[in-house]
A and B are shown apart, each in its own frame.
Chain A
Amino acid sequence: MVSGNISPRLTEQEIADGLMQSGITRTRAEEQLFRQYDYFIKEGIRKYSLSEDESFDAYSDTILSAIQKIINRSFEGRSSLKTWIFQIFHNKCVDLLRKKSTNKNSVHHTLEITDLLHLLSDSARSVVQRMMDNSDRALLGQRLKEIGDQCRKLLLFWADGYPDKEIVVLMEYKTADVVKTSRLRCMEKLRQLYKSNS
């Protein structure tokens, strides 16, 4: 499956392969995926009577969601990529319309809550979930911007699903162990920054 190529007009398999790569190849595959079905935005305006901005938001969130699922191998290929992505887009448009019609001002979550929470036992999960809900995420987001370029880059690569051995190449560290140690140090630094001001 891994081929590492990017070409101007990609097949669905080539896009999926590109997303499993790292660095420029993956970035290009993400952009190519966005371009491949960008006409959905027009469909969102026409079919669901969304504004252009709303339809763009729904489509962008669709592509971000699709990227995560392809990387996590949740897309099993039972339908075509186009059909699958349109289904996600349709659901997001319907969700948006529902929110508009009920006048709810809830924040539109681009990403699902981390799947890692589900690794905990039921009782541990509810303890942690409660603590997560009570934390100041806006402040944490702000502190992430202030933590320093190297740490921020490292944490963002980690959040983007890159394993430590790939971050070695992307950020030119010596070994995967050094990446892990650095990542944990950065997390501790972020924690101190967050605690000192919250």
Chain B
Amino acid sequence: MSEHLGYIDSYFNNELSPEERRIFDQRVEQDPAFAEEVAFYLNTLNTAKAELAAQKKERFREIYREIRPVQRTGLVRRFWPYVAAAAVTIALVFRFVIFSGAATPLNLAGEFIQENLKEIPPTMSMGDSLELGKQLYNQGKFTESLTLFENILNTDSSKTLAKEYAGIVSLRLEQYDKAIVFFTQLENTRLEKNPGKFYHALALMKRNGPGDIPEAKRLLQIVKDQGLMYKDIAIKWLEDWPTE
């Protein structure tokens, strides 16, 4: 491996002293082969950024296709605002009738899952087991995706993301006991931002068995107090929590 790449990386990570930086700059000016390696390092970064931008833009395009307004003409266009207003009114009345009173933990959990866990976004790579599992999940093939994540964990039980995803899929399959096992393992893993406790609370709220709701509340309180992942949602939910 080129010994220079590490040196170049240190320069651009601001790990060199001012004197060392001066020597580096001088070398760039005087040594064309070295300057070429610096140029390659920066070109690699630019190229990777361009590839990343293209991927994100494609993802935005998919989102835009889902949400872009459809062109309506003639009679439909004239009456569309009135139809839309009527639909919103009916939805509000329905919501008021069905969900009047304080939001329940079960409802809060259900809404969160519906709005945030409907999909697991793919990342940069294609083809590895984790990405395949996500693809299956996003296609609604929950049982197959859970099998894949469990296989990953059978090979290596330390795989944090596989635990998280296995827990999420179990939640969607309404296998709450299993979800709780995965999330408990996750919350005991050393992570800078750990969603395990929040997800554990979520599973308890959905399972809604004896003692589950007070335990969920206790976990959300810990999420809030320790500033764990999803702290702000925990705070909002605790404010709306029904009094016992």
Contact = CB atoms under 8 A, between A and B. Distances in A.
Interface in B216-244: 227-233, 236
Interface residues of B, number: 70
Contacts of B42: 114, 116-117, 128, 132
B23 to A, nearest CB: 11
Contact of B121 (A14, A28, A117, A183): A28
Nearest to A157: B124
A71 B192 CA distance: 18
Given A63-B60, A140-B44, A144-B51, A153 B39 contact: no
Interface stretch (A34-42, A76-84, A86-94, A95-103): A34-42
Nearest to A26: B121
Contact of A152 (B53, B115, B120, B125): B125
A46 interface: no
A165 B193 CA distance: 12
Interface in A112-149: 113-114, 116-117, 119-121, 123-124, 127-128, 131-132, 135, 137, 140-141, 144-145, 149
Which DSSP category, helix, strand, loop or mixed, fits chain A's interface?
Answer: helix
B228 A127 contact: no
A22 B42 CA distance: 23
Contacts of A43: none
Given A3-B232, A116-B45, A131-B35, A169 B50 contact: no
Nearest to B12: A116
A60 B45 CA distance: 21
A114 B46 contact: yes
Contact of B9 (A22, A60, A169, A180): A180
B39 A144 contact: no
Given A24-B120, A110-B57, A150-B125, A128 B1 contact: no
Interface in B58-107: 59-61, 63-64, 67-69
Nearest to B114: A8
Which DSSP category, helix, strand, loop or mixed, fits chain B's interface?
Answer: helix
Given A7-B236, A63-B60, A184-B9, A137 B46 contact: yes
Interface in B102-150: 111, 115-116, 120-121, 123-128
Contacts of B229: 4-5, 25
A141 B5 contact: no
B173 interface: no
Given A5-B230, A14-B232, A124-B28, A135 B40 contact: yes
B17 interface: no
A64 B60 CA distance: 10
16 contacts: A24-B121, A28-B116, A31-B60, A52-B68, A64-B56, A110-B50, A131-B35, A132-B42, A132-B46, A140-B43, A158-B45, A159-B45, A159-B49, A169-B160, A170-B161, A183-B9
Given A2-B193, A120-B25, 4 more contacts: A128-B42, A137-B46, A140-B43, A169-B160
Closest 6 A/B residue pairs (Cβ): A159-B48, A131-B39, A4-B229, A124-B28, A5-B232, A121-B25
